[in-house]
Amino acid sequence: MSVVQRFEGLKDEVREGLGEKIVALRRDIHREPELGFDTERTAEKVLAALEGLPLGIRTGVVENGVVATLDGEGDGPTVGLRADMDALPIREETGLPFASEIEGKMHACGHDGHTSMLVGAAHALCGMRERLNGTVKFFFQPAEEGGGGGKVMVEEGVADDVASIFALHLWPGLPFGTAATKAGPIMAAADAFEMTVRGKGGHGAFPHQTADAIAMAAQIVTALQTLVSREVDPVEPAVVTVGEIGAGSAFNIIPEKARLGGTVRTLNEDLRRMMPERIERIARSVAQGMRGDAELDYEFSYPVTMNEEGAARTALGVIRGLFGEEHTLELANPSMGAEDFAFFLEKIPGAFIWLGVGEDVSFLHTPTFAFDEEILPQGSALLTALALESLSE
């Protein structure tokens, strides 16, 4: 049977059978967003939605994560499907009837959708046990938006038996119902730095008696622009963004210290490892040239989200079979955004897939991010098909 024949009708079947349930769960989660590892209520909702299914359930993974296991008929491999559950500290401005009821918190990255799509896939796959030659593990993960819940989940060993793994992310800017992926890097490594620039404080009218930390910080920000433009191979993507700068307490005082914060994005591990030394060298030499110094605190955070070639090919085949060629996109370029599914992909061959919610949708992490929920059963069908395809041999 071709992939197309195997998944004929699956999209409609999931929409008709599970669409309402998936949308209701999404709205329920959307109303009550939770941050970081504190996804207690969300996990409760997931557990309630999975009740009665023939799943082995493990709770309390990474504090409020849930891992559900479905044993199929055969004794083939284990395939993993992962969704993130956490929201963002953003005040929602969508005006939706099911908008966030928690002040200052919002599901602005679609994780409410990811979670309910995975619950939908669990329902669909439980009804197809006889077609599964192996096991499906469903990972409901907290703390994707900082905190590295994926890292902790992998470290806890709950994915040790997983042979391949997939995850979806709803994606504004991509045509509605089009799914996209690629082999190799799909999302960047995201690292963070904080820098303290030190000089000597004093009276604003007597700069010669001081070493001005604000002037140093300004020069450092400018000098850091030459890192990507002059030190990195022009065909190698890299981003250095200073997103925070702070100093001073009054208009007529030269402060002793200034603070910078930034993010560094790379796709190449060697380049990634070189960045702290380069940033520190530029910052310290600029500051020292102005009679001060700079101290760098660098944190390697999320690694590159690296799709394994075979898994990416499987995913593209499944997308073609399910959505048709016109809704299949093999990406030419990765995004410089980051994703902590990367920690799973460091250990397990798999693929991260973007699912388009349309070009006219506000981007992720904005207070007006909202999408057409028709996409949710489609995402459930895609996750279902990925598991079926991985366990069909």
CB of 312 to Ni ion, least distance (A): 20
**How far is it, in rounded angstroms, from Cα 178 to Cα 356?**
5
Q: Which amino acid is at 83?
A: A
Size of the residue set binding Ni ion (CB under 5 A): 1
CB of 207 to Ni ion, least distance (A): 46
Q: Tell me whether residue 109 or residue 153 sits nearer to Ni ion (CB atom).
A: 109
CB of 237 to Ni ion, least distance (A): 20
Long-range contacts of residues 219-228, Cβ cutoff 8 Å, at least 24 apart: 219/286, 219/290, 220/195, 220/260, 220/282, 220/283, 220/286, 220/287, 220/294, 221/245, 221/260, 223/282, 223/283, 223/286, 224/262, 224/279, 224/282, 224/283, 226/282, 227/275, 227/278, 227/279, 227/282
CB of 232 to Ni ion, least distance (A): 27
Q: Tell me whether residue 109 or residue 282 sits nearer to Ni ion (CB atom).
A: 109
Q: Tell me whether residue 17 or residue 367 sits nearer to Ni ion (CB atom).
A: 367
Q: What is the DSSP letter of 229?
A: I
Rg, Å, the chain Cα set: 24
- By three-state DSSP, how is residue 300 classified? strand
Triad 377, 14, 138: Cα angle to 5°: 70
Footprint (CB under 5 A) of Ni ion, residues 143-202: none
Q: Tell me whether residue 109 or residue 304 sits nearer to Ni ion (CB atom).
A: 109
Q: Tell me whether residue 82 or residue 284 sits nearer to Ni ion (CB atom).
A: 82
Residues 6+ apart with CB under 8 A from 324: none
Q: Tell me whether residue 242 or residue 336 sits nearer to Ni ion (CB atom).
A: 336
Triad 363, 22, 378: Cα angle to 5°: 65
Q: What is the DSSP letter of 130?
A: G
Q: Tell me whether residue 154 or residue 279 sits nearer to Ni ion (CB atom).
A: 154
CB of 144 to Ni ion, least distance (A): 6
Q: Tell me whether residue 107 or residue 257 sits nearer to Ni ion (CB atom).
A: 107
Closest-approach residue to Ni ion (CB):
109
Footprint (CB under 5 A) of Ni ion, residues 87-126: 109
Residue with tokens 């890299």: 238
Rounded to 5 degrees, φ, ψ at 165 are: -145, 145
CB of 282 to Ni ion, least distance (A): 32
**How far is it, in rounded angstroms, from Cα 246 to Cα 334?**
32
Residues 6+ apart with CB under 8 A from 306: 184, 185, 186, 342, 345, 346
Q: Tell me whether residue 132 or residue 170 sits nearer to Ni ion (CB atom).
A: 170
CB of 114 to Ni ion, least distance (A): 8
CB of 247 to Ni ion, least distance (A): 33
Instruction: Evaluate whether 196 touches 257 at the Cβ level (below 8 Å).
Output: yes
CB of 302 to Ni ion, least distance (A): 11
The residue ranges that bind Ni ion (CB under 5 A) are: 109
